[in-house]
Amino acid sequence: MNSIGIRVSPSEVNYCITEKTDGGVSILGYDKIIIPKALDVPSQLAYVRTNLNSIFTEFEIVKAGIRVHEGNTKNISIERIYLEGVIQELLADCTVHKYFLGKLASIAKLIEQPLAKVKEYIEGDDTLIAIEGVTKSAKEVRESIVTAFAASELEIEVITQ
């Protein structure tokens, strides 16, 4: 089953796609959607929704996670909140069967790792998830990766008839 981890910032949406098999979880890829500044806010939101919907369909995403702000930050971006809301609305109306909104503590719990270890990974330590070159990438990229691994651990109820 394929999963996606999403980390939103006001100017881009980072995402990582993983595949979970009996052998474990592997990364299919990670990238970002850059939000065009020339568009007005409603058009930016529609742009992100349309692109993510295409990604969900193409990769047959069934589980998702959004890395949300911790709530204790003093500089909450209204643009980030708008984007997270539009993505949540999309998750309710697409191929995704189960998703979560994750702060670091819930992500650590899903991947069964200590919170300190997850924080170290996000800050650039590559011992949690070893991917060549990722320690030099932006913090948001690493957050999308760890969120995708957490999303892959969500349980989906299989209904048989």
Range of the domain at 10: 2-152
Q: What is the pTM for the complete model shown?
A: 0.88
**CATH number for the domain that contains residue 54:** 3.30.420.10
pLDDT band at 71 (very low <50, low <70, confident <90, very high): confident
The answer to whether residues 62 and 97 touch, using CB atoms and an 8 Å cutoff, is: yes
Query: Is 161 among the domain residues?
Result: no
Query: Is 160 among the domain residues?
Result: no
The answer to whether residues 102 and 109 touch, using CB atoms and an 8 Å cutoff, is: no
Query: Is 35 among the domain residues?
Result: yes
Query: Is 61 among the domain residues?
Result: yes
DSSP class of residue 36 equals: P
Query: Is 52 among the domain residues?
Result: yes
Query: Is 40 among the domain residues?
Result: yes
> How far is the C-alpha of 78 from the C-alpha of 93, rounded, in Å?
23
Task: Note the pLDDT of residue 124.
Answer: 77
Residue 135 has pLDDT above 80, yes or no: no
Counted domains in the chain: 1
> How far is the C-alpha of 8 from the C-alpha of 35, rounded, in Å?
11
- From residue 53, how far is each of 31, 32, 96 by CA, in Å? 15, 14, 10
Query: Is 157 among the domain residues?
Result: no
Query: Is 135 among the domain residues?
Result: yes
Neighbours of 81 (CB within 10 A): 14
pLDDT per position as a tens digit, 39-63: 999 999 999 999 999 999 999 999 9
> How far is the C-alpha of 125 from the C-alpha of 93, rounded, in Å?
36
